[in-house]
Copies of this chain bind each other. A is one copy, B any other.
Amino acid sequence: MVDTKPWTAALDRAGYSITEPRRAVAEMVAERDSHFTAPELVLEAKRRRLGVGRATVFRALEVFEELGLVERLDLPSGEHAYVVCEPAHHHHVVCQRCGRGTDVEDCGIEDVARQIEAQTGYLVDSHRVELFGLCPECRAS
């Protein structure tokens, strides 16, 4: 469970209003412990009668992503999903069984990028790494 206080603080710091709908989206997101999609949140908002509309969910996620509170990732299926993340970290491992994700600290990717630059002549300035596998728990069972 993630505390949503940092979320409202981040909104405030960035000059965004702290509104009830945004708080509601933050809470739905914080309660999740694995990746989720925008339409899933829309569904949940409707089910729980939070009075939060589709557009608002999309717009809130957009803001949260900009603030580095969530990261958008692409599942192997091609679906667009989001995961909660600590600001500053930029990669995730996602469990294929339970969907839970974990942040990955710097792990040598920079070296890989440099090697690729040497190999291809490209100047690499951004990369996206997504890893999929089994989390410790699912691995055990």
A120 and B108 in contact, given A126-B76, A126-B132, A127-B129 (Cβ under 8 angstroms)? no
Q: A94-117: which have CB < 8 Å to B?
A: 95-96, 102, 104-105, 107-109, 111-113, 115-117
Partner among B74, B102, B109, B120 whose Cβ is within 8 Å of the Cβ of A74: B74
Q: In the assembly, what is the distance between CA of A50 and CA of B92, in Å? A: 43
Q: In angstroms, how far is the closest chain B Cβ from the Cβ of A75?
A: 9
Partner among B72, B115, B130 whose Cβ is within 8 Å of the Cβ of A128: B130
| Interface residues on chain A, size class | 35 or more
A108 and B107 in contact, given A130-B128, A131-B124, A139-B123 (Cβ under 8 angstroms)? no
Q: In angstroms, how far is the closest chain B Cβ from the Cβ of A95?
A: 7
Q: In the assembly, what is the distance between CA of A121 and CA of B117, in Å? A: 30
> How many chain copies does the complex carry?
2
Residue of B nearest to A111 (CB): B108
Are A133 and B126 touching (Cβ within 8 A)?
Answer: yes
Instruction: Give chain A's interface residues, CB within 8 Å of chain B.
Output: 72, 74, 76, 78, 80, 93, 95-96, 102, 104-105, 107-109, 111-113, 115-117, 119-136, 139
